[in-house]
Structure 1
């Protein structure tokens, strides 16, 4: 199996506009191409810079790049071929108990000199108290929102490196959770196939700014 990586100079030379306009949902991948774990880690590190509610970073990611496990996932994902042909499938999950890492998150900010110890302690206490007492529907909405932001950043980071992706909501979430032994505290948000395109994604059109945007008064 090929482990050749995209040319970093080509990826780095792309402007933000080129990355955004060039990103498409790709469903046909080169099954012989493998993104190295090192580069996948770098890509994910970039994605983890995404913003989140109170910086609690509730996303949790499961990278599935083992071929037998991708085959296991295939029927759960409605037999979508990209699941087995892409270099990996990344499952994006939301942690309903992300506040349990508040101490680690804010201590890191304190140690980096971004906040005082007093502020750090206040953030830990307030975040833990607030997020641990949220109604379930609100907690789920927050992790879905944050997980969506992370997912888009991940896909743009992949495109900037010369790779393609497709976000997938068409899968049996309950069977996925059971098959991969994932606890109920985690909310399945989406699957993202990532790899080297064997066929370009279909071009598509978008509604214009005039179609969807209003300034100061909403009268759509």
Structure 2
């Protein structure tokens, strides 16, 4: 499946085959591709929790208003962000670069993120969003469907997965074999309604 087909055929599916489980090899393939997602300054500030314990999944389902895909999907991923990844041995993000480049980038990282908690959070959300899109398209290319989710109690799920204090949850993603496809697209806006050249006009403002 090429990338354009993956994009056009990706839909948010909520009914998965509860008997199907992805193999460890498939999960590894999926996640190795997710790791290729971009992050600013290459700080790789996403963290991924694959929830595989059935009792834990059931508890998360309770925290997600009993949405069935939580327990029926083959894979449940919690996309988290490490707010302080920029300060945790940042030289490792540039270990393969020339020494002068690595030193300059580490200085820039520390200067850019220090003392700006809003930026740290925003950057993590951007990184997780791009990683989630990579995961959805990679899953589709592997013959799976997915469902991105923010309909859950973030605080409760954080407690259940033992989220560290300097981390936040961005979203969850269910991946699995479809039992029932998505409804037809409900109303995509026309390109002209959302795409502008060189800025907004008075009409858009």
Shorter-chain TM-score range: over 0.9
Task: Please tell me whether the aligned partners of residues 56 and 101 of structure 1 are also in contact (alpha carbons under 8 angstroms).
Answer: no
C-alpha root-mean-square deviation of aligned residues, in Å?
1.2
Q: Which runs of 5+ in 1 are unaligned?
A: 1-13, 111-115
What is the CA distance between 1:65 and its match in structure 2?
2.1
C-alpha distance in structure 2 between counterparts of 1:136 and 1:121, whole Å: 23
Shift of 1:128: 2.8
Distance 1:101 1:150 in 2: 22
SS of 2:11 mapped into structure 1: coil
Do the aligned partners of residues 101 and 163 (structure 1) sit closer, same or farther apart at CA in structure 2, a change above 3 Å counting?
A: farther
Answer yes or no: is the 8 Å Cα contact 2:56–2:160 preserved in 1: no
Counterpart Cα distance in 2 of 1:134 and 1:197 = 45
Identify which of 164, 167, 185 aligns with 2:145.
Answer: 164
Distance in 1, matches of 2:106 and 2:99, equals 10
Deviation at 1:101, TM superposition (A): 4.1
Is the CA contact 2:84–2:120 (under 8 Å) kept in the aligned structure 1? no
Q: Which residue of 2 is the match for residue 119 of structure 1?
A: 101
Q: Which of 192, 200, 205 is matched with 1:218 structurally? A: 200
Q: Does structure 1 residue 104 correspond to structure 2 residue 92?
A: yes
Number of aligned residue pairs: 200
| Cα pair distance change 1:88/1:215, threshold 3 Å | same
Which residue of structure 1 aligns with residue 36 of structure 2?
49
- Does residue 175 of the first structure (1) align with residue 163 of the second (2)? no
Determine the structure 1 residue equivalent to 2:191: 209
Matches for 1:134-149 after TM superposition, within 5 Å = 134-149=115-130
Structure 1 CA distance for aligned equivalents of residues 13 and 89 of structure 2: 35
Distance across 2 between alignment mates of 1:211 and 1:69: 43
How far did residue 48 of structure 1 move? 1.3
Distance 2:199 2:172 in 1: 37
| Structure 1 runs (4+) greater than 3 angstroms displaced | none
Q: Hey, what's the Cα distance between the residues in 2 that align with 1:151 and 1:130?
A: 25
Q: Distance in 2 between matches of 1:208 and 1:182?
A: 40
More deviation in 202-211 or 170-179? 202-211
Select which of 59, 75, 93 maps to 2:46.
Answer: 59
How far apart in 1 are the matches of 2:115 and 2:172? 26
Structure 2 segments unaligned to the other structure (5+ residues): none
2:74 match: 87
Q: TM-score, length-normalised on structure 2?
A: 0.93
Post-superposition Cα deviations, 1:133-175, rounded to whole Å, max 9, x if no partner, equal: 1421221111111111111111111001100100000110111
Secondary structure at the aligned position of 2:7 is classed as helix
Between the aligned partners of 2:181 and 2:55, the Cα distance in structure 1 is 26
